[in-house]
């Protein structure tokens, strides 16, 4: 076990000091693009201002004979693009693949100064994070980087779920964790044959009542895993995300899945197609009414102790803290999104006039 005193020391001489807190930058949507696809890469400059995170995907969905093209495409796009306030992430190949070493050996020296986060797929335990942690430190030192690249794990193996707490706390580099429902389903022998979302066969049926038809209620396949992931992340001060929703046309079910994740504590989700960007934006930005309400509770609670009644609803320390989460998120989003800033200001003015 490493001594707690060593935890914030760089893992290589000359590597940047690890961060003590995960920077809370808006990341409502992590938008995936294939950097080896020239048509897609050409859209990156116009996509960047529309999303919080752009992610150059090198792993699944990129065929084996396109791995190098994707890696080099990402270097080219990163160098040529001014991302403004949008973060640039990449998803490297899995640690058991023949491509991942070249991914890191290429990306860190070439574009390490532009990369905010490296997403690591199929993480099984803390040992996987430790491997990437040390390697990144060595490469950062060699490249002379001054800011550490953060690490994001995908929760998509049964072992990963069993070890999620140790993964979340494995390194100060850990930025967050995403649920990967497709690989997780495969790893667990689930029978969903789809990427995320519900399944019509996963139901609870009402008790018999004479001859009346018995209603069924579809249940959420992902509730347990998301809740567990959220707890692990919150306990370690890192951020939880819902991953992909594969049925691009079903924006309604996509929105439901995203909203369940949002309400359970996730801060964002992956978007695989431009139509999902608006969905993620809608879901992961608190509504103007909720923000106005949160500000009203915060103002009424003063120093946050004691209890007050507002419109017949009891508010205390716990609701005050929930309201702070909403108000802080709204401030961070408003600083980035003038449309939202306006909507929040208008709702606050309406609330004050009541
Ligand atoms: C994402 O990578 C998933 O497997 O769902
Ligand atoms: Mg996967």
Share of the chain above pLDDT 70, in %: 100
For ligand 1, mutation pick of 122, 184, 272 (most atoms within 8 Å of CB)? 184
Which pLDDT belongs to residue 351?
Answer: 77
Mean pLDDT along residues 76-88: 96
Of 240, 229, 6, nearest to 133 (Cα)?
Answer: 6
Q: Residue 186 CA: which ligand 1 atom is closest? A: 4
Q: Check pocket membership of 183 for ligand 1, CB cut-off 6 A.
A: yes
For ligand 1, mutation pick of 58, 94, 97, 156 (most atoms within 8 Å of CB)? 156
CB 100 within 8 A of CB 94: yes
Q: How far is the CA of 156 from the centre of ligand 1 (A)?
A: 6
Ligand in closest contact with the CA of 270: 1
142-178 pLDDT, tens digit each: 999 999 999 999 999 999 999 999 999 999 999 999 9
Q: Check pocket membership of 243 for ligand 1, CB cut-off 6 A.
A: yes
Put simply, whether the predicted model's pTM sits higher than 0.85 gets the answer yes
Q: How far is the CA of 217 from the centre of ligand 1 (A)?
A: 26
Q: Check pocket membership of 103 for ligand 1, CB cut-off 6 A.
A: no
Q: How far is the CA of 185 from the centre of ligand 1 (A)?
A: 9
Ligand in closest contact with the CA of 55: 1
Gap between the Cα atoms of 197 and 276, Å rounded: 14
Which pLDDT belongs to residue 349?
Answer: 85
Q: How far is the CA of 244 from the centre of ligand 1 (A)?
A: 6
Domains annotated for the chain, with CATH where assigned, are: 4-283 (3.20.20.60), 288-353 (no CATH)
Gap between the Cα atoms of 313 and 311, Å rounded: 6
Q: Residue 60 CA: which ligand 1 atom is closest? A: 2
Segment among 35-39, 48-52, 81-85, 299-303 with least mean pLDDT:
299-303
306-344 pLDDT, tens digit each: 999 999 999 999 999 999 989 999 999 999 889 999 999
Indicate the average pLDDT of the chain: 95
Q: Check pocket membership of 156 for ligand 1, CB cut-off 6 A.
A: yes
Mean pLDDT along residues 69-76: 98
Q: Residue 59 CA: which ligand 1 atom is closest? A: 2
Q: How far is the CA of 218 from the centre of ligand 1 (A)?
A: 22
Q: Residue 156 CA: which ligand 1 atom is closest? A: 4
For ligand 1, mutation pick of 32, 160, 180 (most atoms within 8 Å of CB)? 180
């Amino acid at each position: 076990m490493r001594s707690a005193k060593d935890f914030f020391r760089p893992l290589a001489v000359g590597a940047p000091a690890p961060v003590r807190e995960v920077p809370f930058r808006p990341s409502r949507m992590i938008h995936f693009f294939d950097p080896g696809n020239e048509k897609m890469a050409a859209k990156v400059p116009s996509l960047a201002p529309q999303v919080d995170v752009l992610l150059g995907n090198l792993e699944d969905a990129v065929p084996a004979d396109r791995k190098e093209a994707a890696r080099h495409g990402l270097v080219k796009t990163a160098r040529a693009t001014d991302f403004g306030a949008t973060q640039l992430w990449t998803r490297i190949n899995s640690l058991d693949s023949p491509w991942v070493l070249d991914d890191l050996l290429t990306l860190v020296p070439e574009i390490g100064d532009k990369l905010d986060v490296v997403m690591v797929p199929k993480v099984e335990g803390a040992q996987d994070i430790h491997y990437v942690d040390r390697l990144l430190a060595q490469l950062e030192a060699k490249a002379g980087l001054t800011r550490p690249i953060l690490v994001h794990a995908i929760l998509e193996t049964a072992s990963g779920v069993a070890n999620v707490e140790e993964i979340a706390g494995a390194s100060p580099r850990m930025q967050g964790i995403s649920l990967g429902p497709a690989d997780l389903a495969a790893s667990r022998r689930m029978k969903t044959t789809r990427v995320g979302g519900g399944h019509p066969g996963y139901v609870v049926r009402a008790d018999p009542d004479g001859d009346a038809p018995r209603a069924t209620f579809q249940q959420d396949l992902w509730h347990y895993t998301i809740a567990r992931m959220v707890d692990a992340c919150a306990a370690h001060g890192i951020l939880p995300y819902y991953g992909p929703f594969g049925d691009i046309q079903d924006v309604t079910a996509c929105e439901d899945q995203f909203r369940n994740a949002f309400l359970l504590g996730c801060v964002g989700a992956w978007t695989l197609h431009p139509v999902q960007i608006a969905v993620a934006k809608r879901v992961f930005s608190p509504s103007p009414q909720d923000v106005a309400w949160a500000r009203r509770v915060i103002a009424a609670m003063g120093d946050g102790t004691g209890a007050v009644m507002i419109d017949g609803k009891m508010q205390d320390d716990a609701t005050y803290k929930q309201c702070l989460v909403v108000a802080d998120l709204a401030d961070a989003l408003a600083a980035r999104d003038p449309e939202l800033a306006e909507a929040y200001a208008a709702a606050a003015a309406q609330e004050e006039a009541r």
